[in-house]
């Protein structure tokens, strides 16, 4: 009896051992010996691991006072995993209500043999939130509906500062990329660095997700209040003067900080598909034009600095002068008789400035223009800057007559930023500062402040002071008097530039502009106003100059600049 029990026990043991052996053999076969080992391992990895890039959050963009100008919101990708759909009716009814999709299309997605079917991308945050709420409330069964969040670049101010900021879109690889403006120029800084890693799905193997290098936060020199003022002023000017386009830039001549910059038409960085940027996206930096009489400031600066004239140097204006075989006339075709250099600027006499350029000679004249940065990029930290165009003696397209026409801003192309940077040298005692929009970078908790850089010293401080006084005097009672701001000393110059056409110059339309700075004895801002093809008047003195005045009257309030008498009294008391 006892022996029979032992025999049975032995048989059970042998059976267990055999089963165990079979299991071990099978495990070894799967692990090492099976032809399917690759397949099984791949299948295991596919189920348990997800190889992907861990993307960092894109850095924020702030204005100079710390107000947020660009941040990250969320949007969703909505898809269906057909095998996991539990209640077809709930899914179809809910999605067809919330999305702009028909029930048959959703049914077709559910019937698909694929494991995942993309229904819509992007889906707004609001719709995503509604779907989540419905799923959480369990009033409907949305099993099989996949809602995957992904970042959405958001600009809280809407169009305010759009051309400076640029926008962000997804490239073909599915990565966020900045285009134009700060987003484009500082894309690498803002984007951070993604990390490639493996996300483990099996809880036993889960590890902490890798931490990618977050994008840096940028603090701009832009003041959003000034930016808003600039854009509002420009929009009003467009309507008031019937212009087709325009640009306004406000800069601090002492530091090169751009405080506000706008062009019209603008675009909406939140909806760049329906409201796309113009070409170029930021005409203030990327667009070029013939500046006309505002360029005379540079010619006069060169001549004063070279010592060939003084403000009192007499000039007999006969109404025309021949330079390089062409006859140059004044803007109104008239002759002003005996004048001095002060009057030349006050009446904006082409004949006078062309004569001055010939006195300077081409070498001197163009050396000064190059020193002012004409024909070269300012290297501002904004995407797609144009270098403008300055023909030089020796170039195949340069003729002797260009010396005369260039002196009053014809036959030379500049960007608005290039011109304001050049003229800022006169406002800033002969020192031209590097224009820039980045004030500070915060990266991984460390601050990096942008160092202000000198772009050049094209003229001596004495020349700058003399010319400033000339321009202050020429505005008062001159053709640019509408640019004056009560209580503040303003130096500036109007410009009315003809528009080049393939056969010469447009006879009817102009680019009206004004460039000025103040307070003249303590300059804290320099402003360029440019209006393209104003229809109410072709003259800069009647369009751009009053726009300048209107803008500066608000600008001094925002910048807390008291009227000259108050400021001087306060400074004297200190």
CA dihedral of residues 359, 361, 362, 363 (deg, nearest 10): -140
Nearest to 56 by CA among 218, 201, 216, 198: 216
Contacts (CB under 8 A) with another protein, residues 104-123: none
Binds another protein by CB under 8 A, chosen from 48, 49, 53, 72: 72
Q: Least separation, in Å, of the C-beta of 223 and another protein?
A: 7
Q: Does residue 479 bind another protein (CB under 8 A)?
A: no
- Judged by beta carbon, residue 220 or residue 369, the one nearer another protein is 220
Cα four-point dihedral sign 83, 84, 88, 92: negative
DSSP E strands in 265-355: the ranges are 314-317, 320-323, 326-329, 337-340
Q: Least separation, in Å, of the C-beta of 480 and another protein?
A: 20
Phi/psi for 374 (5° steps) reads -70, 135
Q: Least separation, in Å, of the C-beta of 442 and another protein?
A: 8
Q: Does residue 221 bind another protein (CB under 8 A)?
A: yes
Q: Does residue 457 bind another protein (CB under 8 A)?
A: no
Residue range at the interface with another protein (CB under 8 A); choices 67-75, 319-327, 397-405, 407-415: 67-75
- Judged by beta carbon, residue 333 or residue 486, the one nearer another protein is 486
Q: Which DSSP string do the residues of 419-434 spell out, in sequence order?
A: HHHHHHHHHTTT-EE-
Phi/psi for 508 (5° steps) reads -115, -30
Q: Does residue 391 bind another protein (CB under 8 A)?
A: no
User: What string marks each residue from 274 to 293 as x (binds another protein by CB under 8 A) or -?
Assistant: --------------------
Q: Across the strands, what pairs with 525? A: 518
User: What string marks each residue from 511 to 540 as x (binds another protein by CB under 8 A) or -?
Assistant: -------------x----------------
Contacts (CB under 8 A) with another protein, residues 420-449: 439-440, 447, 449
Q: Does residue 397 bind another protein (CB under 8 A)?
A: no
Q: Does residue 176 bind another protein (CB under 8 A)?
A: no
Q: Least separation, in Å, of the C-beta of 373 and another protein?
A: 22
- Judged by beta carbon, residue 7 or residue 327, the one nearer another protein is 7
Phi/psi for 490 (5° steps) reads -120, 135
**Beta strand pairing call for 438-443 and 217-220:** antiparallel
Q: Does residue 316 bind another protein (CB under 8 A)?
A: no
Show Cβ contacts of residue 527 under 8 Å, excluding neighbours closer than 6 positions. Answer: 248, 249, 250, 251, 514, 515, 516, 517, 548, 551, 552, 555
In 3-state terms, what secondary structure has residue 369? helix
Q: Can you read off the two tokens belonging to residue 283?
A: 């005409």
Q: Does residue 209 bind another protein (CB under 8 A)?
A: yes
Q: Least separation, in Å, of the C-beta of 540 and another protein?
A: 24
Q: Does residue 225 bind another protein (CB under 8 A)?
A: yes
d(CA 79, CA 147) in angstroms, rounded, equals 7
Nearest to 284 by CA among 237, 252, 246, 236: 246
- Judged by beta carbon, residue 118 or residue 129, the one nearer another protein is 129
Q: Does residue 237 bind another protein (CB under 8 A)?
A: no
Q: Does residue 23 bind another protein (CB under 8 A)?
A: no
In 3-state terms, what secondary structure has residue 91? helix
Residue range at the interface with another protein (CB under 8 A); choices 221-229, 299-307, 331-339, 508-516: 221-229
- Judged by beta carbon, residue 437 or residue 497, the one nearer another protein is 437
Q: Does residue 562 bind another protein (CB under 8 A)?
A: yes
Contacts (CB under 8 A) with another protein, residues 125-154: 125, 149, 151, 154
Q: Does residue 389 bind another protein (CB under 8 A)?
A: no
Binds another protein by CB under 8 A, chosen from 48, 68, 146, 326: 68
Binds another protein by CB under 8 A, chosen from 104, 156, 210, 461: 156
CA dihedral of residues 567, 249, 356, 326 (deg, nearest 10): -160
**Beta strand pairing call for 145-154 and 68-80:** antiparallel
Show Cβ contacts of residue 145 under 8 Å, excluding neighbours closer than 6 positions. Answer: 78, 79, 80, 85, 91, 94, 95, 131, 135
Q: Does residue 381 bind another protein (CB under 8 A)?
A: no
Q: Does residue 14 bind another protein (CB under 8 A)?
A: no
Residue 115: how many other CB atoms lie within 10 Å: 10
Total of chain residues touching another protein, rule CB under 8 A: 69
Binds another protein by CB under 8 A, chosen from 11, 13, 30, 42: 13
In 3-state terms, what secondary structure has residue 528? strand
Cα four-point dihedral sign 552, 553, 556, 561: positive
In 3-state terms, what secondary structure has residue 340? strand
Query: Is residue 76 within 8 Å of residue 150, measured between CB atoms?
Result: yes
DSSP E strands in 363-490: the ranges are 432-433, 438-443, 446-449, 454-456
CA dihedral of residues 425, 428, 431, 432 (deg, nearest 10): -50
Binds another protein by CB under 8 A, chosen from 205, 322, 400, 506: 205
Binds another protein by CB under 8 A, chosen from 307, 333, 486, 502: 486
Binds another protein by CB under 8 A, chosen from 90, 180, 185, 254: 254
Binding interface with another protein (CB under 8 A)? 2-3, 6, 9-10, 13, 57, 62, 64-68, 71-74, 125, 149, 151, 154, 156-158, 160, 200, 202-209, 217, 219-221, 223-225, 227-228, 252, 254-255, 257, 259, 439-440, 447, 449, 485-488, 524, 553-554, 556-560, 562-563, 566, 570, 573
């Amino acid at each position: 009896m006892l022996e029979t029990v032992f025999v049975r026990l032995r048989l059970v043991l042998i059976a267990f051992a055999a089963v165990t052996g079979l299991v071990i053999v099978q495990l070894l076969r799967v692990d090492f010996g099976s032809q399917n080992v690759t397949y099984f391992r791949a299948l295991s990895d596919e189920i348990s691991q997800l190889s992907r890039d861990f993307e960092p959050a894109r850095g924020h963009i702030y204005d100079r006072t710390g107000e947020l100008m660009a941040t990250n919101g969320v949007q969703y990708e909505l898809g269906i995993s057909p095998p996991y759909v539990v209640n077809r009716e709930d899914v179809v009814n809910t999605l067809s209500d919330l999305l702009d999709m028909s029930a048959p299309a959703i049914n077709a997605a559910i019937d698909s043999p694929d494991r995942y079917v993309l229904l819509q991308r992007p889906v707004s945050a609001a719709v995503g939130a509604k779907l989540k709420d419905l799923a959480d409330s369990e009033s409907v069964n949305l099993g099989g509906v996949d809602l995957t969040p992904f970042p959405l670049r958001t600009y809280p101010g809407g169009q305010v500062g759009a051309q400076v900021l640029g926008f962000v879109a997804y490239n073909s690889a599915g990565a966020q990329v900045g285009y134009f403006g700060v987003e484009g120029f500082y894309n690498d800084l803002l984007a951070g660095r993604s990390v490639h890693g493996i996300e483990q799905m099996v809880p036993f193997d889960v590890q902490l997700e890798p931490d990618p290098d977050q994008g840096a936060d940028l603090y701009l020199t832009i003041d959003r209040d000034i930016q808003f003022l600039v854009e509002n002023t420009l929009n009003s000017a467009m309507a008031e003067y019937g212009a087709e386009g325009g640009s306004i830039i406000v800069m601090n001549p002492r530091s090169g900080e751009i405080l506000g910059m706008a062009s019209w038409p603008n675009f909406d960085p939140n909806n760049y598909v329906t409201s796309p940027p113009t070409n170029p996206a930021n005409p203030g930096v990327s667009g070029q034009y013939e500046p006309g009489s505002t360029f005379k400031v540079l010619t006069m600066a060169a001549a004063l600095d070279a010592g060939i004239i003084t403000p009192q140097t007499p000039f007999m204006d006969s109404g025309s002068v021949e330079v390089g075989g062409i006859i140059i006339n004044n803007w109104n075709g008239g002759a002003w008789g005996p004048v001095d250099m002060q009057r030349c600027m006050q009446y904006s006499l082409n004949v006078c400035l062309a004569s001055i350029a010939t006195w300077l000679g081409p070498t001197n004249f163009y050396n000064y223009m190059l020193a002012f940065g004409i024909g070269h990029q300012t290297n501002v930290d904004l995407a797609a800057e144009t270098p403008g165009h300055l023909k030089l003696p020796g170039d195949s397209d340069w003729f002797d007559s260009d010396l005369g026409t260039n002196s009053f801003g014809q036959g030379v192309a500049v960007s608005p930023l290039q011109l304001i940077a050049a003229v800022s040298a006169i406002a800033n005692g002969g020192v031209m500062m590097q224009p820039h929009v980045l004030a500070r970078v915060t990266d991984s908790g460390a601050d990096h402040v942008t160092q202000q850089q000198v772009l050049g010293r094209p003229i001596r401080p004495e020349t700058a002071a003399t010319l400033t006084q000339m321009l202050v005097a020429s505005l008062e009672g001159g053709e640019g008097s509408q640019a004056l701001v009560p209580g503040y000393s303003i130096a500036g110059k109007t410009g009315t530039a003809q528009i080049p056409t393939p056969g010469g110059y447009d006879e009817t339309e102009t680019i009206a502009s004004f460039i000025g700075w103040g307070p003249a004895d303590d300059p804290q801002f320099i402003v360029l106003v440019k209006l393209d093809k104003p229809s109410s008047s072709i003259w800069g003195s009647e369009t751009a100059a009053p726009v300048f005045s209107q803008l500066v009257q608000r600008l001094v309030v925002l910048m807390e600049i008291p009227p000259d008498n108050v400021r001087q009294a306060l400074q004297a008391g200190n």
